[in-house]
Amino acid sequence: MCPTSASKRVTSVQNQSQTSFSETTQGHPVPDGHYNEAFDLNKPRRHWQYLLDSIETLGNGELHDRHKKASRILRDDGATYTCLLYTSDAADE
């Protein structure tokens, strides 16, 4: 995920007042030909439940704080990465 997309997503999640993580992930259909590792019919798969519960326990504010800290650490360490965006058409070439 591109850094700007991640920042927008975290900010968007943070701005959702009292919306649980489970509610945030609801209603995101999986495109044909793709597999959702964490959810099956909008219900968490058993092997993902602990992680999802832990994320929900942290809350949006703490997730936002941790994202900012991780971004700062990467920036301070000089880590860089390239965000490659392509469509499924480009992947077939």
CA–CA distances in Å: residue 59 to residues 8, 19, 44: 17, 9, 18
Confidence of residue 67 (pLDDT cuts 50, 70, 90): very high
Report whether pLDDT(56) > 70: yes
For residue 53, is it within any domain?
A: yes
User: Is 56 part of any domain?
Assistant: yes
Length of the chain in terms of residues written = 93
pLDDT above 90 as % of the chain: 30
Residues 11-32 have pLDDT tens digits of 444 454 455 656 666 666 778 8
Say if 24 falls within a structural domain.
no
Domain range for 71 is 3-14+37-91
d(CA 25, CA 44): 10
Q: Cα–Cα distance between 49 and 61 in angstroms, integer?
A: 21
Tokens in use for 19?
């919306």
Is there a domain that residue 22 lies in? no
Q: How many domains does the chain have?
A: 1
Amino acid code (one letter) for 45: R
